[in-house]
């Protein structure tokens, strides 16, 4: 099939009909009964991961940050003056905080190319000093006791740096109109606002106030409270009353057109507000029309939408593909199904519950990638679900090494490796679902998302593991050692042998590992046996290579065997063979011969499917399906006249023919 990866919304709009036409032609040529399906499948995961990787360039620098370690920020109000035509920001940030210990100074972060005009504490200016290129210390002049609440105003301005990963503060044009946006993940916030950037503290709630020229429209988090005119400027006030991690704080400004949608979630109406460039508004309205359906699906599969008291939405921005899951308003450079599903899923996995360590980026990206797969499973009548699995598997199996767990968090490309953190991370969840079953899997997800110790807070790998173990009753240490910490994947060779004497099927499963870190991958293996129009599934649970399993032979002749037919495993198949254990073929016994009223046929150690009696004129006079083995089969011939007859017996592998005589003394 054709997989169209279209990065730019304007390009998408120009080529939308072209790709639909080509996709339709391909589906027709393939004879696909779902040819009427819209061409919605794209795999932009590599693009999503690559753009994420670019914006993490300064990760090493941040690891030893001392900012905010002695305070817990409870509320922040941002007040900014911006013009999207000018790369500059000015304004103030007020932090309300609780002292975590006795303190007299606070360290916060702001890149030192920005100018701090003043720091106001208890209505008076206090001293501050930059102690590194991105840290400054504020001397409060008094000692605060542990647990004491207070606030701090920081007035600042400047032109944010341009060498900040992917660009934490950017300006570009679209259709000749300037657009400004921010994208701070993970530590870029310090490039444009003073605060605390870490994975240990969330701001409990925020207000965002943006003053911009009247021809533009601003967007940020939560609910728009007011729009106030001030001369040639408009002032936009947004209020967000949910905890938010610093890297998710964002805003965007341009000449947006608003496309409004709504989703009905458990009887409540949730607004979906899309801020879109005017030239792309018609296209976006068409291709993003099913966003409410996505939101309803995830709300049902996982837990109620985490920010249901406010809204969800999108804001278009002009990076080269990808998106960013800014809380309640995902920033979008494309509008494909997979990108919208991925960013929406981060509302649960990444935004509401945020990873506590970059070692476990899987908790954000693997979960969001699998949620995209789940959307294909449940939408479009499931048509794209097997295609998503095939595409994802091909990505995983493209190289023999690599773990989902990130050992080296100083390597940004490794953290955002699309094959490992995204694709394989998603398939770890898929295999876990296969191992413990749907009920335990989705129960675990819901329990995890509803855990009061985790909701709107931070999580660890152990938190995730514990919930899956609790819901399933299965110790998953071995599973995660192999599939999460271990590298590579299993490579299988399957031998199926029919034992004629006992009419059983002997399955031998051999496994090699693509990487020496895992000696054996312990996971159930499904085989599907085909014969004519018949099929049957067999489930094996090998615990070592070369393990054998014996099953009753199916009642039909086996034409072929398919390994992992439903694509549950991140695994390769090397060979699969089907054979017969050769033994001397038994002869058909037919007695008595001549017969009077009954004949008895017997064929030892072979599966008899049916028999037919044919008279001397070549007419079939008796036939029956028996499907039995090692049983004497009696045939009533009392109604037929004396003479010679032919008995034809069909087994799984051959047809036997014998003659017999019906003779009665009365000549009848």
| Tens-place pLDDT, residues 42-89 | 888 887 787 666 655 544 444 457 888 999 999 999 999 999 999 999
Query: Do 206 and 76 touch, CB atoms closer than 8 A?
Result: yes
Residue 544 burial (10 A CB sphere; 0-12, 13-18, 19+) = exposed
Cα distance between residue 612 and residue 590, in whole Å:
13
Bond prior to 594 in cis (omega within 30° of 0): yes
User: Nearest Cα to 398, choosing from 413, 414, 419?
Assistant: 419
- A 10 A CB-CB count for 550 gives 12
What is residue 377's three-state secondary structure? helix
- Per-residue b/e over 578-593, b at no fewer than 16 CB within 10 Å? eeeeeeeeeebebeee
Percent of the chain at pLDDT exceeding 70: 90
Its pTM stands at 0.83
For the chain, what is the mean pLDDT?
89
Question: To which H or E segment does residue 650 belong?
Answer: strand 643-651
Spatial separation of the C-alpha atoms in residues 286 and 306, rounded to whole Å: 26
Query: Which residues does residue 235 pair with via DSSP β-bridges, in sequence order?
Result: 211, 228
Beta bridge mates, 483: none
What phi and psi values does residue 220 have, to the nearest 5 degrees?
A: -150, -155
What are the residue ranges spanned by the domains of the chain?
43-67+260-487, 70-255, 490-581, 589-662
Q: Which helix (H) or strand (E) holds 33?
A: none
How many Cα atoms within 13 Å fall on the side-chain side of residue 494? 24
- Give yes or no for residue 213 having a pLDDT over 50: yes
- Helix ranges (H only) for 351-437 are 362-378, 385-396, 412-415, 425-436
- Give the pLDDT confidence score for residue 25 in this predicted structure: 33
pLDDT reading at 326 higher than 80: yes
* C-alpha triplet 646, 502, 557: angle, nearest 5°: 60
Structure tokens at 86: 């000018």
Alpha-carbon distance of 92 to 110, in angstroms, equals: 13
**What are 129-169's pLDDT values in tens digits?**
999 999 999 999 999 999 999 999 999 999 998 764 456 89
What mean pLDDT comes out for the span 364-372?
A: 97
- Predicted pLDDT of residue 139: 97
Alpha-carbon distance of 395 to 419, in angstroms, equals 6
* Token pair of 145 as six digits: 């006791």
Q: What pLDDT is recorded for position 583? A: 61
Does 8 have pLDDT greater than 80? no
Element (H, E) at 214: none
Residue 100 has pLDDT above 80, yes or no: yes
Residue 667 pLDDT: 61
Q: How far apart are the first and last CA of the chain?
A: 69
* pLDDT, average across residues 170-176: 94
Residue 18: φ, ψ to 5°: -60, -50
Superfamily of domain 43-67+260-487: Neutral Protease Domain 2 (1.10.390.10)
513-522, 551-560, 600-609: the lowest-pLDDT one:
600-609
**Strand ranges for 427-586 from DSSP E:** 458-459, 490-499, 504-513, 525-531, 534-540, 547-552, 560-563, 572-581
Structural class in CATH, domain 70-255: mainly beta
Q: Average pLDDT in the 174-187 region?
A: 91
In the structure encoding, which two tokens stand for residue 482, read together?
Answer: 């192999």
pLDDT (0 to 100) of residue 185: 81
So what's the pLDDT on residue 381?
A: 94
Percent of the chain at pLDDT > 90 equals 75
Confidence of residue 3 (pLDDT cuts 50, 70, 90): very low
Q: Is a pLDDT exceeding 80 seen at residue 419?
A: yes
Q: How far apart are CA 167 and CA 44, in angstroms?
A: 20
The residues facing 173 across adjacent strands are 178
Beta bridge partners of 645: 660
Q: Distance (Å, rounded) from C-alpha 107 to C-alpha 647?
A: 96
Helix axes 291-301, 337-345, angle to 10 degrees: 40
Closest CA to 483 of 528, 526, 434: 434
pLDDT at 6 over 50: no
Distance CA 299, CA 281 (A): 26
User: What number of residues does the chain have?
Assistant: 668
Q: Is the dihedral of CA 326, 332, 333, 337 positive or negative?
A: positive
441, 432 contact by CB (below 8 A): yes
Fold that domain 589-662 belongs to in CATH: Immunoglobulin-like (2.60.40)
Q: For residues 129 and 119, what is the distance between their CA atoms, to the nearest angstrom? A: 11
pLDDT 10s digits, 545-574: 999 999 999 989 999 999 999 999 999 999
pLDDT at 121 over 60: yes
CA angle 88, 89, 95 (to 5 degrees): 160
Joined together, the tokens standing for residue 477 give: 């240490």
User: DSSP letter at 360?
Assistant: G
C-alpha to C-alpha distances, 154 to 1, 127, 406, nearest whole angstrom: 55, 11, 37
The whole-number pLDDT of residue 594 equals 92
Of residues 303 and 54, more confidently modeled: 303
* Residue 27 pLDDT grade (very low, low, confident, very high; cuts 50, 70, 90): very low
Question: Do the domains 43-67+260-487 and 70-255 sit in the same CATH topology, yes or no?
Answer: no
Check residue 5 and give its pLDDT. 30
Is residue 344 within 8 Å of 369, Cβ to Cβ? no
pLDDT at 403 over 90: yes
pLDDT tens for each residue of 263-284: 999 889 999 999 999 999 999 9
What distance in Å separates the CA atoms of residue 343 and residue 321, rounded to the nearest whole number?
A: 13
Class of residue 308 by CB neighbours under 10 A (exposed 0-12, middle 13-18, buried 19+): middle
Q: What is the CA radius of gyration of the chain?
A: 34
Neighbouring residues of 301: CB distance < 8 A, sequence distance ≥ 6:
371, 374, 378, 442, 445
Distance CA 616, CA 567 (A): 54
Task: Bin 453: left if φ > 0, else alpha if -120 < ψ < 50, else beta.
Answer: alpha
Q: Is the dihedral of CA 117, 123, 126, 129 positive or negative?
A: negative
Contacting residues for 512 by C-beta, under 8 A, at least 6 apart: 490, 491, 493, 545, 574
CATH topology of domain 490-581: Immunoglobulin-like (2.60.40)
Q: What is the largest CA-CA distance in the chain?
A: 129
Q: What is the mean pLDDT of residues 341-356?
A: 96
CB 44 within 8 A of CB 391: no
Give DSSP secondary structure letters for 454-483: TTTSEE-HHHHHHHHHHHH----HHHHIII
Look at residue 410 and tell me whether its pLDDT is greater than 80: no
């Amino acid at each position: 099939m054709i997989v169209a990866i279209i990065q730019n919304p304007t390009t998408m709009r120009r080529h939308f009909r072209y790709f639909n036409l080509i996709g339709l032609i391909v589906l027709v040529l393939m004879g696909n009964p779902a040819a009427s399906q819209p061409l919605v499948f794209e795999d932009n995961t590599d693009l999503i991961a690559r753009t994420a990787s670019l914006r993490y360039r300064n990760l090493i620098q941040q690891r030893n940050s001392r900012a905010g370690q002695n305070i817990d920020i409870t509320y922040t109000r941002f007040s900014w003056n911006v013009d999207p035509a000018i790369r500059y920001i000015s304004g103030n940030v007020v932090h309300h905080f609780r002292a975590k210990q006795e303190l007299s100074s606070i360290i916060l972060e702001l890149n030192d190319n920005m100018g701090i005009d003043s720091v106001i504490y208890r209505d008076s200016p206090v001293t501050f000093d930059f102690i590194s290129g991105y840290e400054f210390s504020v001397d409060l002049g008094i000692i605060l006791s542990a647990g004491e609440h207070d606030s701090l105003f920081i007035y600042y301005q400047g032109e944010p740096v341009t060498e900040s990963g992917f660009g934490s503060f950017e300006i570009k044009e679209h259709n000749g109109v300037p657009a400004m946006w921010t994208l701070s993940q993970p530590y870029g916030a310090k490039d444009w606002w003073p605060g605390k950037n870490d994975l240990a503290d969330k701001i409990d709630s925020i207000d965002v106030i943006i003053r911009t020229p009247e021809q533009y429209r601003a967007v940020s988090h939560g609910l728009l409270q007011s729009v106030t005119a001030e001369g040639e400027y408009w002032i936009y006030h947004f209020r967000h009353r949910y905890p938010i991690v610093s890297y998710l704080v964002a805003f965007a400004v341009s000449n947006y057109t608003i496309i409004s949608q709504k989703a009905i979630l458990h009887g409540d109406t949730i607004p979906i507000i899309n801020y879109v460039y005017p030239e792309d508004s018609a296209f976006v309205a068409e291709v993003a029309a099913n966003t409410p359906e996505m939101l309803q699906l995830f709300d049902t599969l996982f837990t109620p939408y985490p920010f249901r008291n406010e809204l969800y939405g999108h804001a278009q921005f002009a990076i080269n593909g990808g998106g960013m899951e800014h809380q309640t308003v995902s920033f979008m450079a494309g509008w494909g199904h997979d990108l919208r599903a991925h960013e929406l899923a981060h509302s649960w996995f990444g935004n509401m519950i945020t990873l506590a360590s970059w070692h476990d980026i899987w908790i954000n990206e693997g979960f969001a990638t699998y949620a995209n797969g789940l959307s294909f499973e449940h939408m479009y009548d499931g048509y794209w679900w097997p295609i998503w699995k095939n595409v994802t598997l091909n990505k995983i199996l493209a190289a023999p090494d690599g773990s989902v767990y990130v050992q080296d968090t100083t390597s940004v490309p490794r953290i955002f490796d699309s094959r490992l953190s995204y694709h394989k991370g998603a398939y770890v969840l898929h295999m876990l679902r296969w191992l413990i079953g749907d009920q335990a899997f989705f129960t675990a997800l819901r329990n995890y998302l509803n855990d009061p110790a985790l909701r709107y807070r931070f999580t660890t790998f152990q938190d995730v593991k514990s919930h899956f173990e609790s819901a399933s009753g299965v110790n998953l240490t071995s599973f995660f050692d192999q599939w999460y910490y271990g590298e590579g994947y299993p490579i299988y060779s399957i031998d199926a042998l029919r034992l004629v004497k006992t009419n059983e099927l002997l399955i031998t499963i051999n496994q090699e590992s693509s990487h020496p870190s895992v000696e054996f991958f312990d996971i159930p293996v499904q085989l599907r046996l085909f014969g004519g129009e018949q099929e049957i599934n067999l489930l094996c649970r090998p615990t070592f290579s070369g393990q054998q399993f014996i099953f009753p032979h199916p009642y039909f002749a086996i034409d072929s065997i398919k390994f992992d037919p439903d694509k549950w495993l991140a695994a390769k198949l090397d060979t699969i063979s089907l054979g017969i254990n050769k033994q001397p073929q038994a002869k058909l016994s037919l007695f008595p011969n001549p017969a009077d009223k009954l004949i008895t046929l017997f064929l030892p150690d072979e599966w008899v499917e049916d028999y037919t009696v044919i008279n001397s004129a070549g007419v079939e006079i008796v036939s029956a399906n028996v499907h039995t083995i090692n049983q004497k089969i009696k045939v009533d011939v009392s109604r037929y006249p004396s003479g010679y007859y032919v008995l034809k017996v069909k087994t799984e592998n051959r047809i036997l023919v014998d003659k017999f005589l019906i003779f009665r003394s009365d000549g009848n």
